C-alpha cells in the first residue's frame, strides 16, 4: 500500500466521522425544536378551548344580566370591555294572508 493512498483513506475516514458527528448534533437539535413546536401547539389548542369556554360564560352572564336586569353584572361586564345590547327576543311577525275581498 503506498503512502498517498493511506493518507487519502485516512482523510476520507476523518471526513466521514465528522459528517456522522454533525448528523448526530443536528438530529438532537431538530428533536428539541420538534418538541418545542409540539408544546406550543398544545398551548394554542388549550387556549382555543379556554377561549370558547370564556365566551360561553360571558354570554351566560350577559343573558342573566338582561333577564334579571342586574346592574351589578352589567357594570362587571362593562368594566371588562363587554357591552350588552338589550334585544328582547320577539317572535317574527307572521305574514298576512290576503283575504277574498282584497282582490282587484
On whether the pTM is more than 0.75, the answer is no
**Interacting residues of 65 by C-beta distance below 8 A, sequence separation 6+:** 73, 74, 77, 84
Tens digit of pLDDT at every position of the chain (104 positions): 689 999 999 999 999 999 999 999 999 999 999 999 999 999 999 999 999 999 999 999 999 989 998 889 889 898 988 888 876 555 555 555 555 655 54
Q: What is the DSSP string of 29-98?
A: HHHHHHHHHHHHHHHHHHHHHHHHHHHHHHHHHHHHHHHTT-HHHHHHHHHTT---------PPPPPPPP
pLDDT at 43: 95
Quote the CA–CA distance of 63 and 86 in Å, as a whole number.
9
Q: Please tell me the distance from the alpha carbon of residue 66 to that of residue 15, in angstroms, as a whole number.
A: 76
**Over the range 18-52, which residues count as b (16 or more CB within 10 Å of their CB) and which as e?**
eeeeeeeeeeeeeeeeeeeeeeeeeeeeeeeeeee
Amino acid at each position: 500500500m503506498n503512502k498517498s493512498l493511506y493518507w487519502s483513506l485516512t482523510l476520507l475516514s476523518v471526513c466521514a466521522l465528522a459528517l456522522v458527528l454533525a448528523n448526530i448534533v443536528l438530529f438532537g437539535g431538530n428533536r428539541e425544536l420538534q418538541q418545542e413546536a409540539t408544546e406550543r401547539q398544545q398551548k394554542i389548542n388549550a387556549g382555543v378551548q379556554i377561549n370558547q369556554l370564556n365566551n360561553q360564560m360571558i354570554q351566560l352572564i350577559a343573558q342573566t344580566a338582561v333577564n334579571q336586569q342586574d346592574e351589578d353584572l352589567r357594570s362587571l361586564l362593562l368594566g371588562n370591555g363587554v357591552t350588552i345590547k338589550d334585544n328582547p327576543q320577539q317572535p317574527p311577525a307572521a305574514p298576512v294572508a290576503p283575504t277574498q275581498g282584497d282582490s282587484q
